Amino acid sequence: YDTLKGLKREKDFEKLSGRLSLTTATAGFCAALVAGFLFNISIILPYILTAVSIILSLIVILTFKEPEVHKSSKTEENIFAHFKSSIKKVFKSEHIGFIVIYGAVLLFSLDYIFHYGQIYFKLINVPVVFFGVIFAFRALVEGVGGSLANRIKNTFSYRSIFTFILIISLLFIFGMSYIKNYFGIAIFLGVFFIVG
């Protein structure tokens, strides 16, 4: 966002963030599909390739430059001062406070579903060999949700979006609690459209 602000393109944030989400999801989709096959070749091969991708990512990250917006700021010289001023802004703004609390609670709940997904799939008797396929589609569904976020934001009010997300997330969570068959996979995937 700060880079876009420096370029006077803040209005493109949601659109570009959505594209980034879809690109990341596509890579996640491919990785989840391929991981199972790599694991069959060698147990350590997926870990080696993950380590290589992490090293390459770190090299790219080290080339990033701090946006000019922050270079000119003299008031926040360290992370603690920055954190303190951020907390003050959250408490001063009713809207920002709402988004932070709403987002934290909602994403914690939805992240919980992700981390316990494998246990749920075992419960509904999904063969382990299909876990990678399900998680691949999870990444894709999340990417599609992220890529549509800008369109949704421009079509509906924030109040409508937040209300709908809360209601549908609760329905998904309760649905997964009571549905003990393969239909639960569709509900699991729906959760990640919301995450996106």
Q: What is the pTM of this model?
A: 0.64
Give the model's pLDDT for residue 145. 86
Residue type, 151: R
The answer, yes or no, to whether residue 76 has pLDDT greater than 60, is no
DSSP assignments along 51-91, one per residue: HHHHHHHHHHHTT----HHHHT--S--SHHHHHHHHHHHHH
**Nearest by Cα to 149 from 3, 17, 29:** 17
Contacts of 128 (CB under 8 A, 6+ apart): 122
How far out from the chain centre does Cα 89 lie? 24
Give CA–CA dist 90/98, Å, rounded: 9
What is the rounded CA–CA span in Å between residue 93 and residue 86? Answer: 11
Q: DSSP for 156-171, please give it.
A: S-HHHHHHHHHHHHHH
Residue 79 has pLDDT above 80, yes or no: no
Give residue-wise pLDDT tens across range 155-164. Answer: 998 889 888 8
pLDDT tens-digit map of 15-47? 888 788 888 878 877 877 787 677 778 888 888
Q: Is the pLDDT of residue 64 over 60?
A: yes
For the record, the structure tokens of 44 come out as 């350590």
Structural contact between residues 160 and 24, judged by C-beta atoms closer than 8 angstroms:
no
Shortest CA distance to 95 belongs to which of 159, 13, 167? 159
Best CA proximity match to 171, nearest among 185, 190, 153, 196:
190
Q: Can you give the pLDDT at residue 70?
A: 58
155 sits in the region (left: phi over 0; alpha: psi -120 to 50; else beta) called alpha
Q: For residue 178, give both structure tokens.
A: 């009571």
